[in-house]
Amino acid sequence: MAQYAVLLYERVPPADLPEEVKQAHLRMPERVAELGGRIVMGLALEHPDTATAIRGDLVTDGPFIETKEVLGGVFVMEARDLDHALVLAGLTPVVQGGVEVRPLAGLEVLERP
């Protein structure tokens, strides 16, 4: 099965999501498995105010772009194909935002000696 990143964008930071939404996120692996997919990993990000951005030689505190929605987390999932991944990603609970699905390129991180 192919792997896909499901990027979660919200106007509400992860820590401020209602408890029922947080619980729905925790149930995602089970819901995805019921439809023949698999969550490989899920990560919630800290509040956007904790971000540090690097652009060339410039390092700044905070997110580097002004948007109404911020990246709040990511699921890495396995699905049969993109159509299947879109169905599975549609299960993601969002309050005031959406999700973006991207195929993973398969780049492996090499360990240095």
Domain ranges of the chain: 2-103
Structure tokens at 83: 């159509």
pLDDT tens sequence across 62-98? 555 556 788 889 999 999 999 999 999 999 998 888 9
Residue 53: how many other CB atoms lie within 10 Å: 12
| Residue from 63, 34, 60 nearest 51 by CA | 63
| Residue from 65, 29, 30, 27 nearest 48 by CA | 65
CATH number of 2-103: 3.30.70.1060
How far apart are the C-alpha atoms of 8 and 94, rounded to whole Å? 8
pTM exceeds 0.85: no
